[in-house]
Each structure stands twice: as structure tokens, then as C-alpha cells.
Chain A
Amino acid sequence: MIRLLLTLFLCLSSVVPALAVNPDEVLADPALEARARAISAKLRCMVCQNQSIDDSNAELAKDLRVLVRERLTNGDTDEAVIAYVVSRYGEFVLLKPRFEAKTVILWGMPVILLLCGGVAVVLAARRRSAGTLGAPLSDKEKEELDKLLRS
């Protein structure tokens, strides 16, 4: 967190702290503006550490915010805007990486662990109960048991 605080200040382009979206950037159409905000939250400020362009006050983040809004006003879909930004800045800009070959382990980790853990738990439980219950009753033992139960 301390690092975040510090990098926030490294991101400052002016001496006076400025915050993200400024009134002059805001689009007149609230629906379009809401879409712009949602997209901005998914895009990384390239010169900051772990900040979206929506949160960042760096010059570059502002440029990107304006770019996103321009594309939206031109009638692009959300996906098209993101694809455009990625084509210009690379996948580094996506805060949520796409699911593809190089991110298989990243996305698969929770699923793999849950499955492996689940299987391990079940196996351990089976082994334990098998270990204590011992061998099943032999035929002779069953007969004796039946006799006892019937009497």
C-alpha cells in the first residue's frame, strides 16, 4: 500500500495533486459516460503501478480517457474500444488479462487447485475409512451375524 501511495505521487504530472476524471472530460450523455467509466476501470495506466486510467491522474491516463470517450462518441462498441486500445498499447494495458495460451495457468489455477484439493480430500477420507473398517466380513462371519440377529 505504501508503494501505491508513493507511485501515486510519481504519477503526478503537476505539482498540485489532481484526481482522475475531470469535469471537462465528462461526456454529456450519461449512458455513454457510464460506459466510458466502466471501460476505463478495465484499462491500466501505463506509467503507473496497478492503477486504472479511471483512477490515475497521469497525463497519459487522461489522453487514454479522452481517446476512449472519442471512440465511444464515434459509435464504437465497448469491445471495439478495448480492442483498439490494445492494438495500440499491447495487452499490458488490460487489467484483466485475456484467457489464452500464456494465461492458462493464471486462469486455471483456482479451478485446478479446487479440483485437486477436492480429489485429495475424498481420497484421504476413503483411505482413512477403509483403513479403520478393516476387511469386509467373511461369509462365515456373516452367517454368525445373521444367526445372532435372528435369535
Chain B
Amino acid sequence: MIIELGHYALVLALATALIQAVLPIAGARRADRALMELASSAALVCALLVAFSFTVLTFAYVTSDFSVRNVWENSHSLKPLIYKISGVWGNHEGSMLLWLLILVFFSALVALFGRNLPETLKATVLAVQAWIAAAFALFILLTSNPFARLVPAPGEGKDLNPVLQDVGLAIHPPLLYLGYVGFSVCFSFAVAALIEGRIDAAWARWVRPWTLAAWTFLTAGIAMGSYWAYYELGWGGWWFWDPVENASFMPWLAGTALLHSALVMEKREALKIWTVLLAIMTFSLSLLGTFLVRSGVLTSVHAFATDPTRGIFILAILVVFIGGAFSLFALRASRLKSGGLFAPISREGALVLNNLILTTAAATVLTGTLYPLVLEALTGEKISVGAPFFNMTFGLLMLPLLCAVPFGPLLAWKRGDLTGVAQRLFVAATVGLLVAAVYYYAMNGGPVLALLGIALGVYLIVGALTDLVLRAGIGKVAGSIAWKRLSGLPRSAFGTALAHAGLGVTLIGIVAVTAFETETVVEMKPGMMVDAGGYTLRFDGMRQGRGPNYTDETGHFTVSRGGVAVTEIWSSKRLYTARRMPTTEAGIRTFGLSQLYVSLGDPMTDGGIVVRVWWKPMILCIWGGALIMMTGGVVSLSDRRLRVGAPTRAKRAAGLALGAAE
């Protein structure tokens, strides 16, 4: 009964979304306040209905109600509670419901906190959100109903895919979706601006925090996914340029560009049309990502959605929304007036360069991801586009961008002084090269390119801090004044510095691991030793074990340095009983920022076992940098200026910031 209520709530949510999609727009056209106000209530009701529906599905999972087909297919009564809950979105139907839930949740937030938005803008934005919500609710109801029943109900479920039974899965998809779907709000604002034919100050002030929030979540989701793959796959890779990864990386690149162009728009009223276009493109890439992952177009053996009706339905959604938005843009963009003049060498100019390179990078990833599909469809020829292609093209594009990053915040708005900024960054560049030299000495040599990469990373970090140091006047004025100035800086200045420094940290991690990691593959018997990263591992033997829904074999290693035992590592292989599926649980030990990574291979006939040992120098920098970037996003988001409720203080703070910058 409760299951049917959940299903029915979803139907009601679709009906509500349809009302919200049509009436407020009509209200905005006719200046009918009652109709416009309907949008907010409808958004709230819709969010409650979908939340109820989602709770019902979660309830079915928690109580292992195998009369629900979706639960039977993806759950097992012996599964730990956390994986019963995360199993809700560990499958196609449930994850689409989560997508919808987050979408309507964001609409509800706009409805709740958008009190000081212009009435017509708010009504139109909520209507556009409802178009998306209605499309996805219809998709779920028609092709991916998670509430379908099984008669008779089986006694036991088929269990969730073992690789997905991990804390990483509990967190990764919701974070990723918060990012993906967060950009829907920017999209709706962009479409609303095009429908209304104007953009005002409220528009920019609303779009920037949404972009920041979505970007922060997406960064978290991608970093989380990367770390999950690293420890779960058992071969120590952390990025594969896999189409599904690319699907989340493209909106991230476009979103990063949007973040920066929205900045120009908010501060200087320039790049309006471009920002609108970018907002549309970013969410289009999110939709495309959903399509690529959900439709199974990438591969015929995709475990999620092999049913072509779903693919065609999502493709239709894709065509309608992306095509519709771009047509609207083509028709109406000329109505939006652009303002804000600037010289080529200026902060605006730097941000334009940022946008140019980031969108090119996103387009390159997009081309590389879709090219084999399109080529095969058109000519029947099969080619592969893999990591070596992306590393080369993407790397070449990022190089000039990374060099330019510290320049951005140091250049003045309108007209900047390139030579002056270059002089101020001299310290950062010198420190970078010095660190690289020390690294060279410590590592007893190393590839020149890798050392330059390390230098670039350090230059990014020091360059980001240079901005704060200069603005506070540290070293030029008395310490107490500098401190006062530093604490008076707007939070967004710290946010920028953190995000840019985080980029440097990630770069250092990537370069160090790529250039200096070591891999040892050996066949070991108990008592044998292997060296890695200055440590010695002794293999002590294997042990059999049993978990709630799996059996495992664990290898035990003692790690020593200079003959002194420092720690131990357990590395295991699991066999999940319900699906007879094996997984590797790599043994990982952290030493500072570096890690020892041990994974087990095949047992040999003579009693030995193949053991792989990796030394991953500075690997934690990769995700640590992402964490710092996210912190930057959160700090920026807490800036008073971005709180729409505080317009007066905002202007003064902005004035102060400009004063401090000069």
C-alpha cells in the first residue's frame, strides 16, 4: 500500500510540475500576481511530493521489501543498513528519482529564498525549473518506474553490485547530482532572462552563488569518485578519461568558466550575453552527461540502462531542452544589452582568456568522448580515443591557463599593468623554481618536464597567496594594520586564493605521482621481502575471513624502514556470495602525503601469490587540492555580498575591496 502511495505521489508531483510550468508564465505575461505566486507554492508542494516518494522507496529498501522489483534487483536482506540506503540510488530508476528530488529541492530553495527577486523573473525561473522537472518525472513514470511490483514476491534479493557496496558510493552520486542539477538553476535563470529580454543586477547576484554552490558540489563529487576508483579498483589509477568520467568533467569545466564570467558580469556588467550562453551550455553538458550515462549509448554492455526506449526518451529531453534553449538564445540574445568596457590587458581580459581556454577544453573533451560514436555511426569505422589523446590535448591547453591563473586576481579591472603584475609574481616564480631544484636534489634527478610541473604548482600556490599579501600590505605597513586590512578583505578574496592554491596542490600531486611513482610486481611466499618508496614490506601470509555478505582472503604485510617495523598492511580479495562476484580491497597506508598501495593478484600453484606494490608519492595532494578548492568555494559563498538579502552592506564591501586592491 505504502509503495503505491509513493508511486501516486510521483504522479501528483508530475501534475503539480505541469501546473508550475504553465500558469506562472501566463501570470508573468499578464502581470497577474496570483498566477505568478502560484509558482512558489507549486514548487514547495512538488518538492514535498517527490521527497515523500523518495522516502517510500528508501523505506522499501530498508525493510527489504522484495515485492518491489527494484529492491529485489538491487538489494539483499543481509546487506549492511548503509548500503541498503545507498542502494536506493545505486541503480538506474532510483538514481533518476534522486536526480528529480534534487531538482525540485533546488526549485523549492528558489521559491523560499527568492523573495526579493523581481516577481516576473522568479515566476519564469520556477516555470522553467518545472519544465525540466516535468520532463524527468514523466521519464521516470513511463520508462523507469522504481515502484513496479513483483508477484509473487521473491524471498531474497539479488544484492547490489559488490563494487558499489562502498562508502564512496553512498556519497559520490548525491554530490555529483547536487552539482549537475545545481546548474539547472543557472540554466533556468538564463532562459528566464532570454524570455524576459532583460538582465538586471538581481540576475547576476543570484546566478553567481548558485554557480558557486553547484561548482563546489561537482568538485566534491568528481574528487570523491576519483578517490573511490583509486582505492576500489585495486590498480591505483585515479583518472581514466573514461566517457562516464568525462561526462562529469565537461560540466565542471564549463561551470568553472561560468563561475568566472558571472564574476565579470556581476562586477562590471560586461559579458552578459556570453554568461547567459555559458549557463545554457553548462547545464546542457550536465544533461548530456546524464544521457551518456543513462542511455547506454556508450556501450552495448552497459550494466545500467540497455533498454533503448529510455535512451530515446532522454535524447528527446536533451534535444528539446538544449535545442530549445539555443534557439531562444539565437532569437533573443540581441535584446540583452552589454555594458562595461575594458582594455585587453585587464582583469576582465584575463577572465575572457580563462573562459576561452576552459570552453575550448570542455569542447575538446566533448569531441574526444563523442568522436568514436559519431564516426562509427557515419562511416562504420571504429577508432578509439583514450587517455593518451586527452592527456596530450588537455595538457597542452591547460599549460598556458595555469601560467596565467595568478595574473588574474592581481590585474586591475578595466585596465591592468601586465609588467607590474609580472614583477609582483617574480617571487612566486622564483620560489617555484627553487622548490623544483630542491626536489631535483632530493630525488637524485628526475625528468625536466616533471620538475617544471612541480615548479608550476608551487608558483600557483605562492601566486595565489601573493594577492592576499599585497592587498593586506604585509611587509609594507605595520603588522597590526596589515592584519586589520587582511581581516577586512572580502571573503571572496580568500575564496579565490584558496581555489587557485588548491589547483596548484592538485597539480603537484598529479605531476609527482605520474613522474615518480614506482610499481613492483612480484610473486611472493610468506617471509619474502619487497622494497618500495624506501620502505620494506615483508609478506607474512594469508588469512581466511568472512563478512556479512562476503568471504575474503587477506594478505598480511609488515612494513619496516631501516630494519625497524613501522606499520602493517592488510590487503584482501573478497567474494560476494549472492552474485559470486570478486572484488579487491587494496591495502593502503599513508605516510605524510604519500601512500603505499598493495593489491593481491593470482595465487600461484606453488603456494605463492602475485603481489603488486605501488609507491605513490604526494598522491594525497590530488584530492587535498580539490578539498582546498571546495573550501574556497564555500568561503566565497559565505561572502556577504553574495547574500541577496544584504544589498547596502554589499556595495560598501565591494568598494573596500576595490580600494584595497589598488
Using a CB–CB cutoff of 8 Å, the interface residues on chain A facing chain B are 1-10, 12, 14-23, 26, 41-42, 44, 49-52, 55, 90-97, 102-103, 105-107, 109-110, 113-114, 117-118, 121, 125, 128-129, 132
Contact = CB atoms under 8 A, between A and B. Distances in A.
B518 interface: no
B384 A44 contact: yes
Given A3-B293, A117-B360, A16 B573 contact: yes
Contacts of B359: 113, 117
Interface string B575-616: 100001111100000000000000101110000001010000
B382 interface: yes
Contacts of A95: 384-389
A17 B573 contact: yes
Interface stretch (B9-17, B109-117, B367-375): B367-375
A6 B360 CA distance: 31
Nearest to B168: A1
Interface string B386-408: 11110011001100000000000
30 contacts: A1-B240, A6-B161, A6-B302, A9-B163, A9-B581, A9-B582, A16-B573, A16-B582, A17-B584, A19-B612, A20-B235, A21-B521, A23-B523, A42-B388, A44-B386, A50-B240, A50-B243, A51-B240, A52-B386, A52-B387, A55-B235, A91-B381, A92-B384, A95-B388, A95-B389, A97-B383, A97-B385, A113-B363, A121-B356, A125-B344
B517 interface: no
Contact of A110 (B229, B244, B302, B393): B393
Contacts of B232: 5
A1 B242 contact: yes
B235 A50 contact: no
A3 B383 contact: no
B360 A114 contact: yes
A151 to B, nearest CB: 30
B6 to A, nearest CB: 25
Given A90-B382, A95-B386, A129 B341 contact: yes
B578 to A, nearest CB: 14
Contact of A19 (B163, B302, B581, B599): B599
A17 B583 contact: yes
Contacts of A4: 229, 233, 240, 242, 244-245
User: Which 7 pairs, one residue from A and one from B, show the smallest C-beta to C-beta distance?
Assistant: A95-B386, A96-B388, A6-B303, A113-B360, A92-B382, A109-B367, A117-B356
B234 interface: yes
Nearest to A23: B523
Interface of B: 161, 163-164, 225, 228-229, 232-235, 237, 240-245, 293, 298-299, 301-304, 338, 341, 344, 352, 356-357, 359-361, 363-364, 367-368, 371, 375, 379, 381-389, 392-393, 396-397, 521-523, 573, 575, 580-584, 599, 601-603, 610, 612
Contacts of A113: 359-360, 363-364
A117 B225 CA distance: 32
Given A17-B584, A19-B599, A113-B360, A55 B389 contact: no
B303 A3 contact: yes
Nearest to A117: B356
A105 B91 CA distance: 36
Contacts of A7: 299, 301
Contacts of A118: 356
Given A16-B573, A110-B393, A121-B352, A2 B383 contact: no
Q: Is the interface of A mostly helix, strand, loop or mixed?
A: helix
A107 B375 CA distance: 14
A55 B383 CA distance: 19
Given A21-B521, A132-B341, A1 B601 contact: no
Contacts of A20: 235
Nearest to B302: A3
Contact of A5 (B233, B381, B392, B575): B233
A131 B396 CA distance: 36
Nearest to A131: B341
Nearest to B90: A2
B610 A23 contact: yes
Contacts of B245: 1, 4
A131 to B, nearest CB: 9
B384 A110 contact: no
A8 to B, nearest CB: 7
Nearest to A133: B341
B234 A15 contact: no
A3 B299 contact: yes
Nearest to B601: A19
A22 B521 contact: yes
A15 B344 contact: no
A139 to B, nearest CB: 27
A94 B412 CA distance: 47
A2 B260 CA distance: 31
B383 A103 contact: yes
Contact of B229 (A1, A14, A41, A114): A1
Nearest to B353: A121
